[in-house]
């Protein structure tokens, strides 16, 4: 009986040790993620997490939380990884991985609205933004003339744009390019947009309380780039 209990305990702990917990904000949608019944079922984040975990010999568990909770969760070691992030987006004491992708924010409009040529064109204009997101490049140019209209997600910002609630929105270029191909009202979306600064590297934030080491993570990312696994994942949603 004692031996059976010990084996059961050992197997349970081995199973737990083989699981990597990835978290992300629930304000994202495809191509980043699709949430069904509180589960992330597909998208860059889910597919990349599966690939990273498999490369390391783990299984992946991916959970979505409100953006404001992410730093506390990763700091407490309640999750291992938070990927597709930039250091300025989250105040957390973490180890940052090598680059896994590139992205930039974009100012987008409808086809019946003239495309933005420069940030200053947004002066005194209501702009669809995401609650809790910061836009330092725009804030630097517009200061108090930056009129935000916050929604809970990029998807809601896009809905506000297509419903003509406001004429402008700030969205991830990766997200917007995907919507130009798949959105039910894509015919009214302007394919011309203004990037806010150069594309920036997206990385994984690794909890310092994780058993995974940053060297292991970077080696896995290097291999996944070398065998084009990540590229194939991204191409599914482009």
Alpha-carbon distances, residue 97 vs 53, 156, 202 (angstroms):
14, 30, 9
Q: How far apart are CA 104 and CA 172, in angstroms?
A: 6
pLDDT tens readout for residues 187-209: 999 999 999 988 999 999 999 99
Is the model's pTM score more than 0.95?
Answer: no
- For residue 17, is pLDDT > 80? no
Q: Is 102 strand, coil or helix?
A: strand
CATH architecture entry for 105-195:
3-Layer(aba) Sandwich (3.40)
pLDDT tens-place string over residues 202-228: 999 999 999 999 999 999 999 999 999
Q: What is the rounded end-to-end Cα distance, in angstroms, of the chain?
A: 55
Which CATH class, in words, describes the domain spanning 2-101+201-235? alpha beta
pLDDT, average across residues 19-41: 88
All CATH 3.40.190.10 domain ranges of the chain, comma separated, are 2-101+201-235, 105-195
161 HSE (CA, 13 A, CB side):
32
Report CA torsion sign: 12, 18, 25, 177: negative
| Angle (deg, nearest 10), helices 173-182 and 154-162 | 50
Provide the H-helix boundaries in the chain. Answer: 2-17, 44-56, 70-75, 136-142, 154-162, 173-182, 214-226, 229-235
Question: What residues contact 15, with CB distance under 8 A and at least 6 apart?
Answer: none
pLDDT, tens only, 177-188: 999 999 999 999
Using CA atoms, how far apart are residues 108 and 157, in angstroms rounded to an integer?
11
Contact 131, 172 (CB under 8 A): no
pLDDT digits (tens, 9 = 90+) for 135-151: 989 999 999 999 999 99
Query: How many CB atoms lie under 10 A from the CB of residue 231?
Result: 12
- Across the range 49-67, mean pLDDT stands at 94
**Cα dihedral 4/7/11/14 (nearest 10):** 160
């Amino acid at each position: 009986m004692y031996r059976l209990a010990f084996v059961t305990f050992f197997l349970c702990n081995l199973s737990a040790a083989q699981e990597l917990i990835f978290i992300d904000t629930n304000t994202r949608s495809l191509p980043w993620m699709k949430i069904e019944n509180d589960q992330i079922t597909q998208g860059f984040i889910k597919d990349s997490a599966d690939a990273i975990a498999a490369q390391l010999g783990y299984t992946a568990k991916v959970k979505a939380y409100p953006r404001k909770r992410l730093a506390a969760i990763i700091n407490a070691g309640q999750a291992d990884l938070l990927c597709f992030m930039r250091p300025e987006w989250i105040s957390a004491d973490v180890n940052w991985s090598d680059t896994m992708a590139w992205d930039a924010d974009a100012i987008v409009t409808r086809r019946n609205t003239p495309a933005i040529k420069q940030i200053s064109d947004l002066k005194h204009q209501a702009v669809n933004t995401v609650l809790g997101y910061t836009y330092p490049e725009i804030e630097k140019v517009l200061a108090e003339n930056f009129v935000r209209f916050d929604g809970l997600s990029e998807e809601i910002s896009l809905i506000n744009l297509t419903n003509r609630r406001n004429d402008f929105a700030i969205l991830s270029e990766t997200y917007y390019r995907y919507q130009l191909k798949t959105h039910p009202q894509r015919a009214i979306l302007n394919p011309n947009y203004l990037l806010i600064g150069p594309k920036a590297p997206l990385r994984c934030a690794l909890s310092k309380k994780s058993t995974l080491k940053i060297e292991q993570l970077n080696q896995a990312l290097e291999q996944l780039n070398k065998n084009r696994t990540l590229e194939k994942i991204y191409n599914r949603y482009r």
